[in-house]
Amino acid sequence: MKYVIALKHFQTNSHGDHMLNLAYHYGILYQEQHGDMLFFFREELADKRTARFFGDLLCAIFQTQYADRTYAYPTQFEPRFQISIYDVLFAFLSYVRGLTDAKHYKEVLRREFAKEKTEVEDTLPILYLLKDNTYSVTPLDACTYGYETKMVMAKWKLHGKTQARQGVRNKQRRAVYRNFSWENLYDCCPLYWDFTEGRIENTQDIYFLARGMCGAEKGKQKFLEIMHSEKNAEQHYQNINWKEILTAIIKDNLPVPSCENCDYCDRCSHSENMLSTAKPTRREVCILKKERYVDLETAHRDLQNAFQTAMASAENKLYLIKGQTALGKTSTYLNYMKDSVRPVVIAVPTHELKQQIFYDANLHGIEAICATPDIATYGISEDVTEEMQDFYDIGAGAYALRFLAETLQHMGKDNPDYAKISRFLKDCKSSARFQGHIITTHAKLLHLPKEVFQTHDVILDEDIFRTIFRTESVSMQALKKMTGSRYLPDSVKSRLNGICLKRGYHQMDEFAVELEEKQLRKIRHFGVNLYGLLCAKYIHADRERVTFLIEEPLPDCKMVMLSATVCRELYQKVYPNRAIDFHECPKAEYKGHIFQYTDSSYSRYAFQNNYDKIRLLKELCRDTTVITFKDIEKEFITHYHFGNVEGINALKGKDLSVVGLPNLDEVVYGLYAMRAGASLAKVHMYPQRITYQNKSFFLNTYKNETLRMVQTWLLSSQLEQAVGRARLLRENCRVFVYAGFPVEQAKYIDRLCVQKTE
C-alpha cells in the first residue's frame, strides 16, 4: 500500500527554513499540514517495517522525529509532491558521507543499517521487489529481484539435506555489451533520451538507467559524462555520489534491469532490457510493439460476429477468419449448424478430428449429419488396401475406387472382404449424396462431387493450404528407370526425359496425361506419383532427385475458413483472381504460460549426432508430454510430432514441451514461393535479424521477401499449432518451447536452464 511519513517541523533560524533547504538540496519535497512535514511515497510498500525504515532515514536527514499525530493515505490527503524510496536512500548516503571521513563512512552506514536489522550488500540495504510490485526490506520467499538482487532467501537442498533459509547467490550476471552504440540507444529508448536532454526529475529513473548503462562497455564513463553535462547541471540528483554508486553496480555484478519495470515501459517498443533493445544479441527476441489484449469473452464474441457475417453473405468469396486456438471455433460452427437453413460441409485436417467433430455434433443434438468413411476402419485385408494404395501412390486416386469396385465384382460373396468392401463403397456413395450436414477431411473435400458445393455451404476448420499444395520427390535413378518402361507412351517418356535434363527451379508447360487403365495396372508398382510429376507446373531438379509441387483445385464456391494460423498474404498471392475477405479476431491473454528457450536454433541439424543435447532435453522434458520431430520422437517416448497434432484435443490442459524448429527442405520453400509468384534463380539462406509479427530475432532465412514469407508462415503455423494443443487460452498449464523462432505470448529465455521456470 501507499504510505505517508509525518515528521515534526522545526524552524532553526530567522533567515529561512533550514528543512526546506535540505529538502531542495536532496530533492526530497514534502508538504506541510498542521505544522508537520508529510512525505508521500511514490512506490507501494509491502509492510509497516519497510515504511518505518525509510521514515528513520528521513528523521536522520532532517534531524527531527516523528510527528505526534498519524495520517492515512490516500483517503485524507491529495499529495502535491511524491518522493521515491530511492531519493531517501541516496540522500541518506550523501548525508552520512558529508558528516564522516570519506574513508570510514561505509563503516558508519553498515552500523546504522545494522541498527535497523536490515541486510546490507556493500553499502546498500537489500531491497526486495515482491510479485505484487510492492517493496520490502524483509526477506521473503515469494519475491522477485529488487535493485541489488544479489542475495535471495530460499530453502536450498544440499546433499539430500534441507538447510533452512540459506542465502543463495543469484547466478545471473550483468551482461556486458561491447562496441555498444549510444546513438542507437538514443533513438530507441525514451528514458535515455530524456536523460541526455536533462528532462528526468525522478531519482529512481536515474538509478534504473545507471544500472542499465553499466551493462555496456564504457557505460560508467558515458553516464557520468551525461550527468555532468550542462543540461543536467540544475538537477537535484547532482548531489548524489554517482561515481561510487556506479562502481558498486559494476563490482557487485547487478543485472541489467528489465524494461517491464521501467516507468517508460508503455511509451516505447522494447526488448527484454534497454541494452538488448539497442543491440540485441544473436539469440535475443526483441518485442517491438507490446500486444494489447482483450478479455476472452470479447474475443469470442468477435469471432462469432465475423462467422455469422460470413455465413450470411451470398458472395462467392474465400472468407478467412483468424482466431486463437481454443477461442471457440468448433462450438461456433456447431451452434450454427443447429438452425442453419442450408446444410454445411465441415472439413477438418484428419480422420481423428473428423470423428471427434462428428461425436461433438451428436452431443449438440444435430441429427441430420454424416461423416465420410475412412477405409482404415472397415477391416479390409492388407492385400486389397495395399493394392489400392498403389494407385494413390502413382497419383491415380480417381481410379482407386473403380479398382475396388472391379475387385468386388470378381470376388466371391463368401470372401470375408466382400461385405466390408460393399459397405465401404455404399457409405462412400451415400455420404456424397447426403442432403444433411457432412463432416469430412480436407483431402476428401477436394474430391467431393461438384453437386455437393451447389447444395451445401463449406466451412474449413483449420488452414487447408498444405492439403491443396504439397510436395513430393522422386530419385533421379527411379526417374531414368521409368523412361525405359515399355508400358509408358512416347509422349510421357519424352516428358520424363526432359525433366531428367533439367537442373534448378523450373516452371513447366502444361501436359495432359493420357494413360489407359491397363497401363495403370502395369506401372502402379513404380511407387512414384507419376501423375503428379507429369502435371506439375513447378519442379526443382538436381543430380540426386526431382521435387515437384502438386496442386489440387480448390472448389469454386463460397468457403469460410476458421484457423489460428492462416496467412492472408499467401492466399492473395496464390489466388490473385479470387475474392478474399480476411478478418483477424482481437487476441486474449493466455491463462497458461509459455517459456521459450532461444539459446539455440534447435533445428534438425543442431540435433544431428548431438546426443548430449538430446540427453539434456530428455531430462528437462521428463515431466511433460513432448511434441518434436518424427525421426526423434522415440527418444522422448512420445507419438506426437510436427504435422500430426493439428486440431487434436487429447493434450488439453497438459504441460507440454515443444522441441525443435520444424524447418522444411529449402526446395519446399522455393516451390511454394514460385507458386506465390516469386521468380527464383540461385537463392540461399543466411543468418540475419528479421522482423515478424512485431518481434525482432535471428533466423537463417532468405533475402527474397516471398521466400521469407513462406518460410516464416510455415514455421510459425507448425509451432503455434503444437503449442495450441495445450489450450492455454482456457487452461492454466505450461508449455516449454525449445526453438529459435518465437511463438506468441512466450517468456523468451536466451540461456538454457537446468531447472525449469516455475
- Per-residue pLDDT reduced to its tens digit, 49-67: 888 889 888 888 888 888 8
Q: Region 336-349: what's the mean pLDDT?
A: 94
- Per-residue pLDDT reduced to its tens digit, 106-156: 777 777 777 767 777 666 777 777 777 788 887 654 444 333 332 232 222
From edge to edge, which strands make up the β-sheet containing 469-475? 469-475, 545-551, 538-541, 504-507
Give the DSSP letter string of 716-754.
HHHHHHHHHTT-TTT---EEEEE-SS--TTEEEESS--S
C-beta of residue 284 within 8 angstroms of C-beta of residue 271: yes
Residue of 294, 232, 289, 295 whose CA lies nearest to 265: 289
- In eight-state DSSP terms, residue 240 is S
Q: Quickly state the pLDDT bin for 639 (edges 50, 70, 90).
A: very high
Q: Does the pLDDT value for residue 671 go beyond 90?
A: yes
Residues of the chain with pLDDT > 70, as a percent, come to 88
Q: Quickly state the pLDDT bin for 171 (edges 50, 70, 90).
A: very low
Amino acid 160: pLDDT: 31
Burial tier of 559 (Cβ tally within 10 Å: 0-12, 13-18, 19+): buried
- Per-residue pLDDT reduced to its tens digit, 17-61: 566 666 766 668 788 888 788 898 888 888 888 888 898 888 888
Residue 388: its H or E element: helix 382-393
C-beta of residue 684 within 8 angstroms of C-beta of residue 701: no
d(CA 240, CA 39): 20
Residue 363 one-letter amino acid: L
Residue 722 one-letter amino acid: A
- Per-residue pLDDT reduced to its tens digit, 711-720: 999 999 999 9
Per the prediction, the chain carries an average pLDDT of 84
Amino acid 168: pLDDT: 31
Stated pTM of the model: 0.71
Amino acid 263: pLDDT: 82
Q: Does the pLDDT value for residue 365 go beyond 70?
A: yes
CA angle 79, 85, 86 (to 5 degrees): 125
d(CA 602, CA 663): 10
Q: Region 307-311: what's the mean pLDDT?
A: 97
Q: Quickly state the pLDDT bin for 76 (edges 50, 70, 90).
A: low
Pull the grid cell for residue 728. Answer: 492455454
CA distances from 129 to 5, 135, 209 (A): 20, 5, 17
b/e map 235-269, b = 16+ CB within 10 Å? bbbebbebeebbebbeeebbbbbbbeebebeeebe
Residues in the chain: 758
Through-space distance between the first and last CA atoms of the chain, rounded to whole angstroms: 27
Amino acid 537: pLDDT: 94
Question: Is pLDDT larger for residue 81 or for residue 340?
Answer: 340
Q: Does the pLDDT value for residue 391 go beyond 50?
A: yes
Question: Is pLDDT larger for residue 101 or for residue 703?
Answer: 703
Residue of 436, 344, 97 whose CA lies nearest to 244: 97
d(CA 218, CA 212): 12
Of 95-99, 193-197, 347-351, 733-737, least confident by mean pLDDT is 95-99
Find residue 560's DSSP bridge partners: 319, 459
Residue 231 one-letter amino acid: K
Reported in sequence order, the residue ranges of 482-553 that DSSP labels E, i.e. its strands, are 504-507, 538-541, 545-551
Q: Does the pLDDT value for residue 75 go beyond 60?
A: no
Which positions ≥6 away from 651 have C-beta within 8 Å? 625, 640, 645, 725, 726
- Per-residue pLDDT reduced to its tens digit, 245-303: 787 777 767 778 888 778 888 777 777 788 888 888 788 888 877 788 999 999 999 99
Amino acid 139: pLDDT: 62
- In eight-state DSSP terms, residue 41 is B
Q: Region 482-511: what's the mean pLDDT?
A: 89
Of 224-233, 525-534, 627-636, least confident by mean pLDDT is 525-534
Amino acid 756: pLDDT: 44
Pull the grid cell for residue 508. Answer: 513447366
- Per-residue pLDDT reduced to its tens digit, 187-231: 889 999 999 999 987 777 888 898 899 989 899 999 999 999 999
Map out the domains of the chain with their CATH numbers: 4-169 (no CATH), 182-279 (no CATH), 468-551 (no CATH), 593-749 (3.40.50)
**For the chain, what is the largest distance between any 2 Cα atoms, rounded to a whole number of angstroms?**
122
C-beta of residue 718 within 8 angstroms of C-beta of residue 643: yes
> How many CB atoms are located within 10 Å of the residue 282 CB?
12
d(CA 285, CA 84): 32
Residues of the chain with pLDDT > 90, as a percent, come to 45
